[in-house]
Structure formats: C-alpha cells, structure tokens
C-alpha cells in the first residue's frame, strides 16, 4: 500500500527547523500547516477505512484558531519561542483544555479538563499548537497482565503504520504511530516502564524517556510517582532535544546534538539486554559498528540477567503507588464520576461489555486490596527493586562508561485481542532505568523483516545531553532519518 494521503505527506514529514524556516520565509503559514495535518488525520485515522490507524483519539477544537494566532504573532513582530507554530499531539492521559484527558477509559470520557497540565503550558508558551490527543493503551497499560498494547475502550486498537496488523507498542501507542505516519512532527508520550521506548522502536521514530522528575507530572493521569515521566517523540534526535528543553527548562540539550559532541563519550554494550531475536540483535551489532568511530570507545560491560523476582517486585511497587496516586488524582477532576480507584473498578464492572471485553482489571483489583505505600509488601518490594537496579545492575555496568546501549525491542508483533501481548521480545533495557528513574533515548537503527527496530541509550539521572549526543552520532552514522528507509509501508493485515 502506498501513502494514502500524498498531498500532505511531504509536509507531514518536515521537522521543526523545516517548518519554522518555511513560516519565516512566508512560504507556509502555521494555519495552513495545521489545516493540512488535520485533513491528514481525518483521512488516515478514519475508523471506517482500511487504513485506519486510530492513533488520534480527538482533534483539538481550537487548533485552527490557535494556529491563526501564531501567524498573527509572527506578523506583529512578537518574540517567538523555539516551538513557534509547531503542531504537537499529546497523549490522552495528559490534561489539555478542550480535550478529554481520558486515559482511554470511558470512566473519564465525560470529565471535563478545565486547566492545562503544566507541561502543556510550557509547550504553549514556547509557541506550540496543540492539535489533538493521541490514543493509548488504556490507563497507560497497567490494568491487567493480559493487556493488549494500543487498545482502549474509548479508542479501540491503534495500528502500526508499517503493517496495520502489527502492534504500535504501548502505552504511548498513538503518539508513536502518529509521528511515524506523518500526522504531526511532534507528540508527547509518558513512560512508566517502556511506554515511550517501545512505541518509538516499533514505529521507527525517536523517543526520549527523561529523568523522572525533570518534567512535571501534575495534570497527568498517574500510575507511579517513582517511575512516571512525560517525554517527546519525534522523527529526529534534534527535534526531541528541542522539545525536551521546553518541557524540562534545560538549555544544554540542543547543543549536545552538535557534530562531534559524542566524541569523548564512552559507551558500554550490555549483552544481558539483547532481545534474543536474531535479526534485531544482528542489526544492533551492525549499528554498534557504525557508531564506534564517533565515540571515545565501545566495549562490552557485564550485568546480570534480570530475574523474574525483579518484575514481580516491580508489579507490587506499581500497584501500591497506583492506589495512592490515583486516589489523590481522581478527586481533582471536575464533574461527576469516579473519585477513587475502587470507583474505577466498580465502573468497569458495570460497563463490562465495553471496558472488560478484551482483558480484565486484575492489577486494579490487586491495588485496591493491597493497601498502598503503607503496606509492608510495598516497602519491601521497593527496597529490593532499588537495591537490585542500583547495586547489582546499573552501578557495575556504568563503572567505566558514560552510557549503556542495547536493542530496544524485536520488530512489532501481531496485535492479538485474544491472547494479549504474549509474543513481544526485548524491553529488558527498560526495567532497571525505570526503577531508578534514569533516562532512556531510543533511536531507529534500521529495518528487520521490513519493520523498524531501535537502539536504546541509557544513562544516569540528568544525563540527557550525553544520551542525545550518542543518539545524534548514531543517527548521522546510519543516515536513516528523513529518508525513504524510515517511511512506513502501510502494509495491509496479513494472515498467519
């Protein structure tokens, strides 16, 4: 299948610098850009077509008016921010005036958002135009161990623009798929463990999961205060750096994308984090070979394989924090409806035909019964998680290097509404960084079986400039960004 909406496809693939230059030259207005992207969203995301991605849950009712206002600001000589006139999509678990902020759940679909989340205020102050909300794995993919990435009761199942029957990853499914499909140059996702990294890898785009605490989470539907963080998804490392500076208030990230910025950085490859998928791990080895001349050195480092007890403890931690954080968040939403996690459980049971038709809510039920952070099981699990991630995993691996690298995930698996995400491979790189709140950058490293795969780059807290420098070096070495090699194929669903 060819690109289904050619008139806007070239526009949709432009990055921040391209769009700003065209607007400055008067060859393209912000209003014209937004109007064209809204047309593309309507064409590509329409639920009644064979190319429906269902990646955008809702378009912003004020998008065109906001775009016209940006054009007026440029004409008046108003000082322009770094994202002036840039269209942005936002994951629908982030509060934006005029959008639902539903987390994909019917329980929040009619609870109005009356105040922008602080991160949205930062985007608007930088000149961005919020054009819509992206679909997501319902409640950010922490409702059931049998969940299906990209599915929500409100939005249905998000597809992957490379192959429409393949997973777009989770939980920022719509954000990754929409950027890959050219529906916007920038999208904002959130991550607790893998929720930016996975969609970035599976859709062939760049995603940054920042240091926890570096981007405000007020106005974001929570899972875990110790692991949740919003972050940018784009088609280039440089664009991710620009947006992250806006979200975080830092001013040292764009400069990290300069040529030779990675030359002094030492890189460690982690064998225990390979995916086990031959094609993906071979692509990683080739990418490492391409990266090596652009950094101070690449060498293998040792860390133990992740035992299953770590994952079990992490679930205990997340269900403990989920109860407390959701019970604190839900009463802040205006309107009538659920006020606690227990209310959500009851709501889902009373709307089981829609909410529980694909998978259950076992994690929610466990969380309601678990007792939150005060429970001894939570305290012990969190202590074990932190000790393992810090002392047994990341500290030894980081002893003589500045960043760690590994393949992110195998190529996108088929979406399966019957069995859930049973066939995914990879993601091991995410867990220790998630537990400690460390940042991770994921960058495309090529195609395997016609589907994109990514490299993840991990560093200690606030090491985003180092991650971006290595990511930019990889992007330049592979020369994939902006080329036909990373343009989705829109392959129709296939049997088998």
Q: What is the number of H-type helices and E-type strands within the chain? A: 18, 15
- Taking the C-alpha atoms of residue 172 and residue 164, their distance in angstroms, rounded to an integer, is 17
Q: Please tell me what DSSP assigns to residue 437.
A: T
134, 172 contact by CB (below 8 A) = yes
Active site residue 414: no
ω before 171 within 30° of 0 (cis)?
yes
Active site residue 171: yes
Indicate the angle between helix axes 16-25 and 237-248, nearest 10 degrees.
80
Intra-chain end-to-end CA distance of the chain, in Å: 19
Q: Please tell me what DSSP assigns to residue 226.
A: T
Strand 266-270, strand 403-407: pairing: parallel
Please pick, among 102, 171, 214, 236, the residue that the annotation labels catalytic: 171
**Closest by CA position to 457, among listed 185, 277, 280, 209:** 209
Please pick, among 195, 214, 224, 248, the residue that the annotation labels catalytic: 195
* Residue 382 CA neighbour count, 13 Å, CB half: 18
Please pick, among 91, 149, 415, 463, the residue that the annotation labels catalytic: 91
- Taking the C-alpha atoms of residue 313 and residue 2, their distance in angstroms, rounded to an integer, is 45
Q: Please tell me what DSSP assigns to residue 52.
A: -
158, 55 contact by CB (below 8 A) = yes
**Closest by CA position to 173, among listed 185, 12, 155, 212:** 155
Active site residue 147: no
Q: Which residues are catalytic?
A: 91, 171, 195
């Amino acid at each position: 299948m060819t690109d289904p909406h050619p008139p806007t496809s070239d526009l949709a693939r432009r990055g921040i610098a391209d769009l700003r230059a065209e607007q400055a030259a008067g060859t393209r207005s912000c209003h014209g850009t937004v109007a064209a992207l809204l047309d593309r969203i309507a064409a590509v995301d329409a639920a009644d077509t064979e190319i429906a991605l269902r990646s955008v849950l809702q378009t912003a009712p004020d998008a065109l008016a906001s775009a016209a206002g940006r054009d007026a600001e440029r004409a008046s000589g108003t000082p322009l921010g770094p994202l002036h006139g840039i269209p942005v999509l936002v994951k629908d678990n982030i509060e934006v005036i005029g959008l639902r902020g539903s987390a994909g759940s019917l329980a929040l679909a009619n609870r109005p958002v009356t105040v922008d989340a602080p991160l949205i205020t930062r985007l608007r102050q930088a000149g961005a135009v919020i054009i819509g909300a992206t679909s997501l794995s319902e409640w950010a993919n922490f409702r059931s161990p049998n969940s299906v990435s990209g599915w929500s009761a409100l939005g249905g199942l998000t597809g992957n623009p490379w192959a429409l029957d393949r997973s777009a990853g989770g939980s920022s499914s719509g954000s990754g798929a929409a950027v890959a499909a050219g529906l916007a140059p920038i999208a904002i996702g959130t991550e607790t463990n893998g929720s930016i990294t996975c969609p970035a890898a599976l859709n062939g785009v760049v995603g940054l999961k920042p240091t926890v605490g570096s981007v405000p989470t007020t106005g974001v539907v929570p899972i875990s205060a110790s692991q949740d963080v919003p972050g940018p998804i784009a088609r280039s490392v440089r664009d991710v750096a620009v947006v992250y500076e806006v979200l975080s208030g830092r001013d040292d990230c764009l400069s990290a994308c300069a040529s030779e910025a990675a030359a002094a950085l030492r890189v460690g490859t982690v064998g225990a984090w390979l995916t086990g998928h031959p094609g993906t791990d071979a692509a990683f080895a080739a990418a490492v070979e391409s990266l090596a001349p652009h950094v101070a050195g690449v060498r293998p480092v040792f860390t133990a394989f992740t035992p299953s007890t770590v994952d079990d403890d992490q679930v205990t931690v997340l269900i403990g924090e989920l109860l407390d954080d959701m019970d604190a968040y839900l009463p802040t939403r205006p309107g009538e409806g659920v006020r606690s996690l227990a209310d959500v459980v009851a709501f889902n049971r009373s709307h089981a035909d829609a909410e529980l038709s694909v998978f259950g809510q076992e994690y929610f039920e466990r969380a309601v019964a678990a007792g939150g952070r005060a429970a001894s099981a939570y305290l012990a699990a969190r202590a074990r998680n932190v000790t393992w991630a810090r002392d047994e995993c990341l500290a030894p691996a980081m002893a003589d290097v500045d960043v760690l690298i590994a393949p992110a995930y195998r190529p996108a698996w088929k979406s399966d509404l019957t069995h859930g995400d049973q066939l995914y491979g990879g993601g091991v790189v995410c867990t220790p960084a998630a537990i400690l709140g460390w940042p991770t950058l994921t960058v495309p490293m090529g195609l395997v079986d016609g589907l994109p795969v990514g490299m993840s780059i991990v560093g200690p807290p606030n090491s985003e400039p180092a991650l971006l420098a290595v990511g930019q070096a990889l992007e330049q070495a592979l020369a994939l960004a902006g080329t036909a090699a990373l343009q989705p194929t829109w392959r129709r669903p296939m049997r088998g």
